[in-house]
């Protein structure tokens, strides 16, 4: 014959539904937290990869500009010498040009592009597409109005956009005439 047990032994015979639900809830919370952690890590890794590539592109562009300077390379830049329109065609001519007051410059910042190892006057402050979702902007400006013939400040900006917004990487140097 079957008899029903009474007392504390009956209450400890199995897990209650509440205990199972609590264990399940804790497990789900831990899994969600782990997934969020992994996704955040992947997003940060992708950003670091893009940042690294952008910095590499900026450095390569700056090296290309220095090479053009060192080889007295080709440029194309329309400018005014007092009131006479002129065009610079080789890099050493840039040392004789004050960047302030030029029609093609914006607030004494002159924008350039590089095409076929030639430094070419850009159109306004726009950046050009260089592939893989990156755009590039090259800015020349006088380092000082008093010594414009000796130094030019060069800034290379690389821009990109991802799911977290717009980003940029830039590198800047002061160039002087090659010796």
Model confidence pLDDT, tens digit, residues 55-67? 999 999 999 999 9
Would 52 be classed as within a structural domain?
Answer: yes
Q: With respect to residue 13, please indicate whether it lies within any of the assigned structural domains.
A: no
Residue 166 lies in a domain: yes
Strands 152-162 and 134-142: antiparallel
9: in domain = no
Whether 42 is in a domain gets the answer yes
CA distance 166 to 51: 12
Domain count, the chain: 1
- For CA atoms 149, 154, 70, 100, the dihedral sign is negative
DSSP-based three-state secondary structure for 133: coil
| Structural domain containing residue 153 | 37-175
The reply to whether 46 falls in a domain is yes
- Inside any domain, residue 69: yes
Residue bearing tokens 């952690």: 37
Please report whether residue 25 resides in a domain: no
For 92-104, write each residue's pLDDT tens digit: 888 888 888 787 7
8 A C-beta contact, residue 52 and residue 71: no
pTM: 0.78
């Amino acid at each position: 014959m079957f008899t029903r047990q009474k007392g504390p032994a009956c209450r400890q015979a199995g897990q209650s539904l509440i205990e199972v639900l609590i264990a399940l809830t804790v497990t789900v919370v831990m899994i969600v937290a782990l997934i969020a952690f992994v996704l955040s890590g992947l997003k940060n890794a992708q950003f670091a990869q893009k940042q690294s590539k952008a910095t590499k592109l900026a450095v390569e562009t700056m090296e290309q500009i220095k090479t053009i300077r060192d080889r007295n390379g080709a440029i194309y830049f329309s400018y005014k010498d007092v009131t006479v329109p002129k065009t610079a065609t080789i890099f050493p001519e840039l040392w004789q040009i004050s960047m302030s007051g030029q029609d093609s410059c914006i607030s004494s910042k002159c924008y350039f592009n590089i095409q076929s190892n030639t430094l070419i006057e850009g159109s306004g402050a726009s950046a050009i597409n260089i592939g893989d979702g990156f755009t590039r902007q090259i800015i020349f400006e006088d380092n000082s109005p008093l010594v414009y013939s000796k130094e030019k400040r060069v800034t290379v900006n690389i821009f990109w956009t991802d799911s977290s917004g717009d980003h940029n990487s830039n590198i800047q140097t002061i160039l002087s005439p090659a010796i």
